[in-house]
């Protein structure tokens, strides 16, 4: 299975990066790919077997969906393994580098959209996260 990979170096302490990645109050502020979408609600039970549910919605209310998954492994400030709601695997790692915290996401592609489109969309969300954390 080929996984899609996106990554970004975040110029912030690991405690802030982890908090902004996992705390619902922050997730709603960065978890969307473009300015015409938003994440109006987020719930996050960050434990093995726990679930997250993020409402992804267009701002004009023409479309929305529940992006969700189940945590398989949570290693504080290091790694998260997830089984997405559509049975795809996802892994997020947080690594310290000289330049900052390297956030890497690996995920199985879905079959509806081209791989390049999926990678671009996930990278835009990660870029939003970087911008939100560093502001």
| CATH code of the domain in which 37 resides | 3.30.530.20
d(CA 93, CA 37) in angstroms, rounded, equals: 25
The Cα–Cα gap between 46 and 131 comes to 23
What global pTM score does this model have?
0.95
Closest by Cα among 127, 135, 102, 133 to 33:
127
Determine the structural domain holding residue 104 and report its residue range: 4-134
What pLDDT band is residue 1 in, cutting at 50, 70 and 90?
low
H helices present in the chain, as ranges: 14-22, 24-30, 115-134
Range 35-52 average pLDDT: 97
pLDDT digits over 5-37, tens only? 999 999 999 999 999 999 999 999 999 999 999
Question: Looking at the predicted structure, is the pLDDT value of residue 96 above 80?
Answer: yes
Count of structural domains within the chain: 1
Which residues have C-beta within 8 Å of that of residue 41, sequence separation ≥ 6?
Answer: 28, 53, 54, 55
């Amino acid at each position: 299975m080929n996984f899609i990979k996106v990554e970004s170096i975040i110029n912030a302490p690991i405690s802030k990066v982890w908090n902004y990645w996992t705390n619902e109050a922050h997730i709603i502020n960065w978890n969307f790919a473009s300015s015409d979408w938003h994440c109006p609600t987020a719930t996050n039970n960050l434990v093995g077997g726990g679930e997250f549910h993020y409402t992804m919605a267009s701002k004009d209310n023409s479309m929305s969906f529940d992006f969700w998954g189940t945590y398989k492994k949570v290693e504080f400030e290091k790694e998260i393994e997830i089984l997405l709601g559509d049975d795809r695997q996802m892994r997020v790692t947080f690594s310290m580098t000289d330049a900052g915290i390297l956030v890497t996401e690996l995920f199985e592609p879905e079959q509806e959209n081209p791989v390049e489109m999926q990678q671009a969309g996930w990278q835009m969300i990660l870029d939003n996260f970087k911008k939100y954390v560093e502001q």
